[in-house]
Amino acid sequence: MSLDNGEMKKAVGLEKGWSFTHYLSKMKGVSAQDRTVLFSDSLVSAGGGLIAMTIISLLAVSLGYPMALGPIGASCLLVFAAHEGPFSQPRHIIGGHLLSTFVALSIWDLFGRSHITIGITLAVVVLLMMITKMMHPPAAASAVVAINSQVGWGFLLTVVFSAILVVVISILYNNLFKTRNYPQRWM
């Protein structure tokens, strides 16, 4: 199956009517109303992050993988400050970290670490998270940390245990408050 020039332009979004000016105008963004966040809700979110990261840092550091704290800390931000969002749900957190870290370590095992394998890792992880509907941006960071640090397969267990702890702590903590309901959905 081959694409002629017109079909190729359509496939990459360069159909008739495209201009450089239009392209640039898309970069100015759209105006949106700022969502008001109550200070008390901010304190609740910060408290959840404090509890979760204290517990998880004990685990990650004692297992010898403190580099897991960056991506897991980003997951904490999502589950405590944006707990209703789609990327904050258990399937996305646990599945995303498991999938991304496993893929990264597999690519590292097969091809080693180089600039291109780091780029390929991120591309594969993004593609797989989209296909499996487990998008979780901090999980992509876990993949990059795994391949860039060349930490080995023990990192996978640390990341997965940490992701599970994030979800469990978030369930226990967020549901203590009348205005919070976590998770919104499991699958």
Per DSSP, the residues of 92-136 read: IIIIHHHHHHHHHHHHHHHH---HHHHHHHHHHHHHHHHHTT---
DSSP tag of 33: P
**CA 94/CA 92 separation, integer angstroms:** 6
* pLDDT for res 1: 47
Residue among 77, 76, 78, 57 at smallest CA distance from 68:
57
Q: Tens of pLDDT along the chain (187 residues)?
A: 455 655 555 555 555 667 888 888 878 877 777 777 789 889 999 999 999 999 999 999 999 999 999 999 999 999 999 999 999 999 999 999 999 999 999 999 999 999 999 999 999 999 999 999 999 999 999 999 999 999 999 999 999 999 999 999 999 999 999 999 999 988 7
| Residue 148: other Cβ atoms inside 10 A | 15
Residue among 58, 61, 68 at smallest CA distance from 151:
68
Could you report the per-residue pLDDT of 144-184, keeping only the tens digit for each? 999 999 999 999 999 999 999 999 999 999 999 999 999 99
**CA 80/CA 45 separation, integer angstroms:** 5
* pLDDT for res 10: 57
Two tokens, residue 115: 């600039």
| Residue 127: other Cβ atoms inside 10 A | 11
pTM, 2 dp: 0.84
